[in-house]
């Protein structure tokens, strides 16, 4: 895990009482907290309970966090503990007599937590880099990743761009994204399918 300077700067601002920096921390890492709640199959109400506890604990402890860069890992571990607390309370009666560990054979464990942290870091960096792209690229890439996907014809008419220009612009925009300083050191690990050698865009 790299020490993301953006995270270190954010934590420093939060410690000074900067609400905007806090909002950004929550915005950036809510998907991490949420995805772990989803892994534990919590109900919406339990997930809200966990979220509240995690963010309140962070408010309490952010001043004493020894390694600001370790914030994502701290959040993931705290979320996991809170999920287990909620599940333990809920299941106390279902499996009376069993020791708590035996009630969670499907506990996704530390490996899952590490995976979620790595994915969350990469996702947050990608969203930050994406947010900084120029408007045209932002719009085009949004349409390209939309679900369901937009046809080139639809993109052409929405962006008032000839269909033949979409391919080259897509390559240019992705190259800008790839070169974003936000992604320095982030894209090393494989995503689903793994990294592959770029054959067309890297010489531009």
Phi-psi region of 175 (alpha: psi -120 to 50; beta: other; left: phi over 0): alpha
Of 116, 139, 138, give the one whose Cα is nearest residue 129.
138
Of 51, 202, 34, give the one whose Cα is nearest residue 123.
34
Q: Segment near another protein (CB under 8 A), from 64-72, 101-109, 156-164, 170-178?
A: 170-178
Cα gap 36→47, rounded to integer Å: 9
Q: Kindly tell me which residue out of 2, 41, 92, 204 binds another protein, with binding defined by CB under 8 A.
A: 92
Q: Kindly tell me which residue out of 130, 137, 155, 166 binds another protein, with binding defined by CB under 8 A.
A: 130
Q: Kindly tell me which residue out of 52, 109, 157, 158 binds another protein, with binding defined by CB under 8 A.
A: 52
Yes or no: say if 79 and 37 are a contact pair by the CB < 8 Å rule: yes
Residues that bind another protein (CB under 8 A): 14, 17, 19, 22-23, 26-27, 30-31, 33-35, 38, 44-45, 47-49, 51-57, 59-60, 62, 85, 89-90, 92-93, 96, 119-120, 122-124, 126-127, 130, 141-142, 144-145, 147, 170-171, 174, 177-179, 183-185, 187-188, 191-202
């Amino acid at each position: 895990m790299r020490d993301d300077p953006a995270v270190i700067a954010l934590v420093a601002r939060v410690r000074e009482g900067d609400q905007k920096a806090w909002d950004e921390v929550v915005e950036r890492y809510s998907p991490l907290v949420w995805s772990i709640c989803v892994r534990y199959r919590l109900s919406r109400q339990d997930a809200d309970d966990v979220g509240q506890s995690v963010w309140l604990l962070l408010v309490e402890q952010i001043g004493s966090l020894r390694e600001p860069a370790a914030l994502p890992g701290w959040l993931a571990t705290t979320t996991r503990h809170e999920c287990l607390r909620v599940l333990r309370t809920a299941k106390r009666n279902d499996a009376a007599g069993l020791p708590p560990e035996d009630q969670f054979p499907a506990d996704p464990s530390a490996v899952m937590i590490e995976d979620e942290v790595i994915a969350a870091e990469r996702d947050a960096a990608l969203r930050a880099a994406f947010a900084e792209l120029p408007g045209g690229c932002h719009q085009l890439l949004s349409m390209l990743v939309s679900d369901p996907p937009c046809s080139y014809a639809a993109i052409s008419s929405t962006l008032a761009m000839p269909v033949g220009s979409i391919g080259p612009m897509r390559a240019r925009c992705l190259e800008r994204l790839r070169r974003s300083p936000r992604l320095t050191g982030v894209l090393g690990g494989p995503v689903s399918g793994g990294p592959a050698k770029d054959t067309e865009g890297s010489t531009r």
